[in-house]
A and B are shown apart, each in its own frame.
Chain A
Amino acid sequence: MDVKNFDMGEVDIAWCPGCGNFPILKIIKRALAELEIEPENLVMVSGIGQAAKTPHYFNTNVFNGLHGRALPPATAIQASNPKLVVIAESGDGDMYGEGGNHFMHTIRRNPNITNIVHNNMVYGLTKGQASPTSQIGFRTPVQINGVILEPFNPLAVAIALDAGFVARAFSGDQDRAAEIIKKAISYKGYALVDMFQPCVTYNKINSFKWFKENTYYLEDHDVYDRNAAFEKATDKGKLGLGVFYINPDKIPFEENISVYRTDKKPLYQRPVDLKKLDTLIEKFKFAV
C-alpha cells in the first residue's frame, strides 16, 4: 500500500523544526502501509502533548482524548469493535506520568492494541519541565537543581507485569524502527514500543547525537526469556534498542471476555434482544 494513503495533504504541523516527531510520523505511516492496514480500519488514539498531536497528521480515524487517558478509550474501542486496528500514541509524560495507572493496568488487561510512547525525556508542550523519564541531574525551570527522582523505566515495568510485547526503537533509525512497529502491530495483544526521540528545543542533553552514542541494538538476545529481557531493560550501561520481550502465550482481552465467544459481530451491530429481556423480567415475578 502507498504510504500516501495516510497523508493529510496540506496541514499545519505544530511541531518545532527538527523535532523527533517528524521521523516518527514517517515511521508509523510506513509500517501501516507495509502491513496493508486500511485508514478506515485504523483508529489512532492519543492523549495530550506534542506527541499526542500525531494522530491529527494521519488520514485515519482519530480519538484525541484527555491528557494521560489514551489507553482506556483505546482499550474500549478495540473491545467494542475488535475488527479495528487500534494504536494508542502519546508522549512519556502522558503515558508514564499522568496516565501511569492506566499504563500498568492496561498491561494487565492486555487489549490487542499497540502503545507507542514518544520518549524524549522532557516535557515539550508545557515548555521544558522534567518528564518521568528525565535523567537524574537534568536541570529544568522547575527542577532547578536537577532531577532527583529515579527515572521511570517503562520497559522494566512492562516486563515485570509480563506485557506480551515490549520493545524500544529510536526515531533516528527509521528502517529498524518501522520493523519494530510492524512487529508490535502484528502482535496479538498489548504491545509497547518506547520510542526514543530528541527534543530539539527543551532537551539539549539527550540530543540526536546523545541517543546515537548511548544506545545499541540487542543482539543474541532471546526475546522469549523474561529474565534476560528484564536484565537488559535494567542495565545501567548503554540503553538497548529492539524487541526486548515477547510472551507468545497471552490471550488478548477481547478473546478473554465472553462477548465474542460465539458471536464475532462488533457491538454496534447488536441491538438488544427484547424477548430475552422479557424473559428476564418474567423471572422477577417468581422472585428469583
Chain B
Amino acid sequence: MSILKDFKDDVSIVLSGQAGQGIQTVEFLLTRILKIAGFNVFATKEYMSRIRGGMNSTQIRVGTKPVNALLNRIDILIPLDKGAFTHLSDRISDDTVVLGEEHNLSDNFDRDRFLEVEFSRIASDIGNKIYSNIVAVGTIAGLLDVELEAVTNYVKRHFASKSGDIVENNIEAAKAGLEIGNSLVHDKRIVVDITAENTEGQILLSGIEAVGLGAIAGGCNFVSSYPMSPSTGLLVFLSKHSGEFGIIAEQAEDEIAAVNMTIGAWYAGARGLVTTSGGGFALMTEGLSLAGMLESPLVIHLAQRPGPATGLPTRTEQADLELALYAGHGEFPRLILAPGTLQDAFYLTQKAFNIADKCQVPVFILTDQYFVDSYYNTDAFDISKIQNENQIVKTKKNYRRYELTKNGASPRGIPGYGDGLVSVDSDEHDEEGHITEDIDLRVRMVDKRLKKLERVKDESLPPELIGTDDYKYLLVCWGSTFNVAKEALEHINNDKVSLLHVKQVYPLPQQTTEFLSRAEKTVMIEGNATGQLAKLVKLRTGFEFEHKILKYNGLAFSVEEIVEEVKKVLD
C-alpha cells in the first residue's frame, strides 16, 4: 500500500467526542508521555457546558520545534463519536486522515484516508471496553515511535492508585495500541516524522497552573472565591497546594463574600487573591471600589468568557477589558496585566502581588478560557529571579494609615503589629482612617489616591516587539492572542511585518505610542466584537487603528485565521 500521509515536523491531532467519553484522559496521558519522551507538545480544548454528552474536541500538536498555538488544521482526527464530523466540518480537509473505529466514521468521508483501529474491540479483548482510550494513547505514541517503556511507565504511574488488575490491563492496552501505531508506520500507511528534542529541563503545564505557581511565588497565602468557569482551576490549584504552602483557600458563599474576605485578609497582613470570570467579577465590583477607597492591595484573576450575562460559559473571549478598566464606582487607580505566554503568566502574577502591595492598588491578571485551558512545554521558571518585597510596616503609637505623603502612598501597617492602631474606612476618611465630611480633606484624599497611578506607571511593563524594528506593518495583540499571532507572523514571513504584544493593558505603557507611530499601517487583533484595546488606545493617545481583526464566536483565534486576515491587509 502507498503512504497515505507524511507529516513532517508538525502534526495536529484532534480528538473529538462527547463529554464523558474520556477525551481528557487521552489528552492528559498523551501530552505527558510525549513531553517525557522529549517532544514539544501543545494541547488545547474546546468544550460544551455539560458534564456528559454534547460534542467537544481537543487539539494536540506535536512539533520538532516548540508549538504553543491553536491550529485550525487537523492532520489526524480521532473521532470517538460520529458527531465529530459535523462538529469539526469546517476544519476537516482533504488532507485530514481519520484514525479509529469504523462506526464513528462519517458516511461520506473518503475511506482512502481512513485508518481503522478497533480501540474498543482490542480493549474488550483485554478485559473491558473502558481501556479503549488507553489503546488510542498507545496508538498515537506508536505513530511517533515513543519507546514502550516510556509509555508503560507513565501509565503505571498514572493508575498507581488503582488495583493491580486495572494497572496491568491499562498497560496491556497501551502496549497493544503502541504495536498498532508502530505497524502503521512500519507498513508505511502513515509517516509522522517529528524529532524529539531534549525537553528534559522544561516543564509542561497549563495557563492556570502557570498563574497558580506565579501566585505562590508572589507570596499568595489567601484565596477566596466562588467557582465559575473558566476561573475555577486557580482556586483548585491553590487549594491543592494549600497545605504545602500555608495558604488559606476558602470557597465563599458568593463572589461578594470572596472579594470582601480577600480585602480583609490583606488588611490583616495576608497576600490575597480572588479568581473569577465576568459575571462573578460583576458581583465583586463594589468590593473593587472598596479596595480603591481603603487603598488595599488586591489581586484579581479574571478569566474571561463570552458574555453578556451567562453567555457561553465554557468558551473564550477577550471582552472584559473594559469591565476590568471601568468596574467600581468612584475614581481610583488600578493596574491590568494580560499574560500572553506561560512565562508571562508566572512572572506577571508574581509581580502583581508586589505591585499591588507596593502601590496599594488592585491589580488584574486578565486571562481567558483558551489561555487557562491550554498547555505546552516551556522553560522551567527560575526561582532566582523572584523577589518579594514585604511592604508592611511596624506601626508606632499615633500611626495614621492615610498619612498624606508626597507620592500618595502611606506606609501600610496592619493590626497587631506594632503599637499603633490601623483604621480603614469605606467612607471618605481622614489621615487616621476615620469617617469625615470635610470637603477640603476630601479633595486631598482623592488626589492622594489618584497620585498612586504615577507609582503604578513607574512599575510599567513595556510592550514586547516581535520581528524587525524596521516594520511597515504593525500587528498589535494582547493576552492569549499572542502565541497565535506570533506563529501567524512566522507563516506570513514578511520582513515588513512585526507584532507588538501589550502585556500591560492599563495603564498603557508610554512606549506603545512610539511603536504605533512608527508603523505605516496598524492592525489590532482582539477576541472581542468592538476592539476594546483599540478603543482604549484611541482614548488615551488619540491613535486610531487602520484595521481590526476581531473574533467573538466563542472560539479562540487560530493561526491560519490570523494569517488569512493579515494577508488581506497586506495587499
Q: Interface on A for B, CB 8 Å cutoff?
A: 14, 39-43, 45, 48, 53, 55-56, 59-66, 69, 71-81, 83-84, 101-102, 104-105, 109, 257-259, 263, 266-278, 280-282, 284-287
Contacts and interface: CB of A to CB of B under 8 A. Distances in A.
Given A40-B421, A84-B268, 6 more contacts: A61-B422, A62-B424, A65-B263, A72-B258, A273-B245, A285-B380
Contacts of A61: 415-416, 421-423
A276 B219 CA distance: 12
6 contacts: A65-B290, A72-B252, A76-B222, A76-B261, A81-B415, A287-B154
Given A43-B415, A53-B435, A281 B286 contact: no
A23 to B, nearest CB: 21
A274 B381 CA distance: 12
B224 interface: yes
Q: Interface residues of A: mostly helix, strand, loop or mixed?
A: helix
A271 B253 CA distance: 28
Given A62-B433, A73-B261, A40 B242 contact: no
Contact of B36 (A43, A72, A287): A287
Contacts of B268: 43, 76-78, 80-81, 84, 266-268
B42 interface: no
A66 B286 contact: yes
A77 B417 contact: no
A62 B380 contact: no
Contacts of B434: 56, 62
A72 B383 contact: no
B171 to A, nearest CB: 18
A281 B212 CA distance: 11
Contacts of A275: 383
B419 interface: yes
A78 B219 CA distance: 19
Interface string B416-457: 111111111111000001110000000000000000000000
B466 interface: no
Contacts of B390: 271
B321 to A, nearest CB: 25
Contacts, number: 212
A60 B200 CA distance: 56
Nearest to A41: B416
B201 A65 contact: no
Nearest to B265: A76
B262 interface: yes
Q: Which of A61, A84, A257 has the most CB of B within 10 A?
A: A61
A45 B245 CA distance: 28
A245 B425 CA distance: 33
Nearest to B386: A274
Nearest to B204: A287
Given A41-B416, A64-B427, A102 B262 contact: no
B213 A80 contact: no
Contact of A263 (B246, B287, B386): B246
A272 B209 contact: no
Contacts of B203: 281, 284-285
A4 to B, nearest CB: 15
Q: Which of A62, A101, A102, A275 has the most CB of B within 10 A?
A: A62
B264 A74 contact: yes
A274 B217 contact: yes
A76 B264 contact: yes
B214 to A, nearest CB: 10
B205 interface: yes
Contacts of A77: 264-265, 267-268, 415
A43 to B, nearest CB: 5
Contacts of A101: 253-254, 256-257
> Which range contains the number of B residues in contact with the other chain?
35 or more
B256 A268 contact: no
A68 to B, nearest CB: 8
A42 B268 CA distance: 11
B525 interface: no
B196 to A, nearest CB: 14
B184 interface: no
B415 A84 contact: yes
B416 A266 contact: yes
Contact of A105 (B32, B36, B253, B419): B253
B388 interface: yes
Contacts of A56: 423, 425, 434-435
A126 to B, nearest CB: 15
Contacts of B220: 272
A270 B390 CA distance: 11
B247 interface: yes
Contacts of B294: 65
Contact of B219 (A59, A60, A271): A271
A70 to B, nearest CB: 9
Contacts of B35: 287
Contact of A48 (B224, B254, B426): B426
A56 B248 CA distance: 29
Given A40-B419, A285-B201, A66 B287 contact: yes
A101 B257 CA distance: 9
Nearest to A261: B243
B216 interface: yes
A53 to B, nearest CB: 7
B72 interface: no
Contact of A268 (B213, B270, B287): B270
Contacts of A43: 268, 415
A83 B273 CA distance: 22
Nearest to B200: A285
B128 interface: no
A5 to B, nearest CB: 11
A74 B265 CA distance: 9
A158 to B, nearest CB: 16
Contact of A66 (B31, B200, B426): B426
Contacts of A75: 261, 264
Contacts of A273: 245
Contacts of B218: 272
Contacts of B245: 272-273, 276-277
Nearest to A53: B435
Contacts of B216: 272, 277, 280
Contacts of B458: none
Contact of B202 (A41, A48, A274, A285): A285
A84 B416 contact: yes
A284 B257 CA distance: 33
A84 B270 CA distance: 14
Contacts of A84: 268, 415-416
A257 B248 contact: yes
A21 to B, nearest CB: 14
Contacts of B154: 287
Nearest to A73: B264
Given A72-B257, A105-B253, A79 B265 contact: yes
B103 interface: no
